[in-house]
């Protein structure tokens, strides 16, 4: 239900545009396809993914000879579900971590303001609820506010945090955090990092150094590099995904702020273009408003 409410705006906007796109038309012809292309692009699905969807619908029109506009919803739903499936986007509904990795190390990347700290706090809360022992690491040492905000979440969720003063070496904080987690026999480590995109070489070096030092304590750490993107920024989110995937190996995505935006289509485009699974979506500011992304529920909510 949170998901339905969270996607409400995207859905309403999309379907009102779609109904305009097919108004007065009974069959899917070139005009309808042109209009549909506009609807998808303006819903932030992204140009490349939109063209892919249009091509697939064209192929169905060519095959079936006649495709009624009344069937367009169903067909779009099938094609979008198919695309999400290709990207290997999860079927999970629960917050889980692999049992064979202890501590499980999650490194979180993303630019300021996208909801990184909030997402970390929400994740910590979900894992703690399952009885897992969580340790946070404040390796965004660039801004004092980032350390303070993470501390606020650590207090709220009541989990330990490892931090140093502003300006200290992020890799040193990350090292201390995994070390402390191992000493406490913790299950999950979540490392916050600074996302200063304006200097890509620095970002790349900083993230690889963080990884390198963590691996001195925990083999193969981090086990997951989660990129947080603000869904309400549409094309900016695409651009950030492009930059971060160049700077480090991103293994999963969290798309936040899907409530209050009509740009929900960004989830479809980003997962398709970057071939990285969307693991979590944010549909509000409360702790329970971070959800495990489930492609079936997503498509269901959208096309209900």
Q: Binding-site residues for GTP, please?
A: 110-117, 192-196, 256-259
**What binding mask, one character per residue, do residues 120-159 give for ligand GDP by CB under 6 A, x or -?**
-----------------------------x----------
Q: Which H/E stretch holds residue 188?
A: strand 188-193
**Binding string, 263-282, against ligand GDP, x = CB under 6 A?**
-------------------x
- Comparison of 82 and 113: residue with beta carbon closer to ligand GDP: 113
Write out the DSSP string of 58-78: HHHHHHHS--BGGGHHHHHHH
Number of residues that bind ligand GDP (CB under 6 A): 18
The least distance separating ligand GDP from the CB of residue 280, rounded to whole angstroms, comes to 10
Compare residues 28 and 228 and give the one whose CB is closer to ligand GDP. 228
Q: Which of 154, 289, 293, 299 contacts ligand GDP by CB under 6 A?
A: 289
Q: How far is the CB of 78 from ligand GDP (least distance, A)?
A: 28
Task: Supply 298's token pair.
Answer: 């997503």
Binding to ligand GDP (CB under 6 A): which residues in 82-121? 110, 112-118
Please state the residue numbers annotated as binding site. Answer: 110-117, 192-196, 256-259
Q: How wide is the angle at C-alpha 245 spanned by C-alphas 88 and 10, nearest 5°?
A: 60
DSSP for residue 231 = G
Q: Of the candidates 49, 87, 180, 256, which one interacts with ligand GDP according to CB under 6 A?
A: 256
Instruction: Look up residue 222 and give its two tokens.
Output: 């981090």
Distance, in Å, from the CA atom of 105 to the CA atom of 181, rounded to the nearest integer, reads: 10
CB of 264 to ligand GDP, least distance (A): 12
Say whether residue 259 binds ligand GDP (CB under 6 A): yes
CA-based torsion, 177, 191, 144, 155: positive or negative? negative
Give the integer Cα–Cα distance in Å for 34 and 50.
11
Q: Minimal distance in Å, beta carbon 233 to ligand GDP?
A: 11
- Residue ranges in 176-215 that form contacts with ligand GDP under rule CB under 6 A: none
Residue nearest ligand GDP (C-beta atom): 282
Helix 235-247 crosses helix 200-214 at what angle (to 10 degrees)? 60
In the complex, minimum distance from the CB of residue 285 to ligand GDP, in angstroms, rounded to a whole number: 4
Nearer to ligand GDP, 72 or 110 (CB): 110
- Other C-beta atoms closer than 10 Å to the C-beta of 68 total 13
Nearest to 8 by CA among 278, 255, 264: 264
How many CB atoms within 10 Å of residue 130? 13
Residue indicated by tokens 């009541």: 158
Q: Which residues are paired to 225 by β-bridges?
A: 107
Out of 284, 295, 298, 299, which residue is the one contacting ligand GDP (CB under 6 A)?
284
- Based on CB atoms, which residue is closest to ligand GDP, 217 or 253? 253
Gyration radius of the chain over CA positions: 21
Q: Tell me if 68 contacts ligand GDP by CB under 6 A.
A: no
> Distance (Å, rounded) from C-alpha 230 to C-alpha 96?
23
Binding stretches for ligand GDP (CB under 6 A): 110, 112-118, 149, 256-257, 259-260, 282-285, 289
């Amino acid at each position: 239900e949170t998901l339905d409410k969270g996607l409400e705006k995207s859905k309403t906007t999309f379907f009102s545009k779609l109904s305009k796109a097919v108004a007065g038309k009974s069959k899917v012809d070139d005009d309808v396809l042109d209009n549909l292309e506009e609807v998808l692009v303006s819903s932030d699905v992204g140009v490349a993914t939109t063209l892919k969807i249009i091509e697939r619908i064209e192929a169905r029109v060519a095959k079936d000879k006649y495709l009624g506009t009344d069937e367009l919803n169903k067909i779009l739903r099938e094609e979008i579900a198919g695309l999400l499936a290709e990207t290997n986007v999860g079927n999970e509904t629960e917050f889980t971590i692999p049992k064979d990795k202890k501590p499980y190390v999650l490194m979180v990347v993303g630019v300021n303001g996208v909801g990184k700290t909030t997402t970390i706090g929400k994740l910590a809360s979900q894992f703690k609820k399952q009885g897992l022992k969580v340790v946070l690491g404040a390796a965004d040492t660039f801004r004092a506010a980032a350390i303070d905000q993470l501390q606020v979440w650590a207090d709220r969720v009541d989990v330990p945090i490892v931090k140093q003063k502003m300006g200290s070496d992020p890799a040193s904080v990350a090292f201390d955090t995994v070390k402390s987690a191992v000493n406490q026999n913790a299950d999950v480590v979540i490392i916050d990092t600074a996302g200063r995109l304006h200097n890509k070489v620095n970002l790349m070096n900083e993230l690889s150094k963080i990884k390198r030092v963590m691996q001195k304590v925990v083999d193969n750490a981090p086990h997951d590099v989660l990129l947080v993107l603000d869904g309400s920024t549409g094309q900016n989110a695409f651009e950030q995904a492009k930059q971060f995937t160049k700077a480090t190996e991103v293994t999963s995505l969290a798309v936040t702020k899907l409530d209050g935006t009509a740009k929900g289509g960004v989830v479809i485009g980003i997962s398709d273009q970057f071939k990285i699974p969307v693991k979590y979506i944010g549909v509000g500011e409360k702790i329970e408003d971070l959800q495990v992304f489930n492609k079936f529920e997503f498509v269901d909510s959208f096309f209900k």
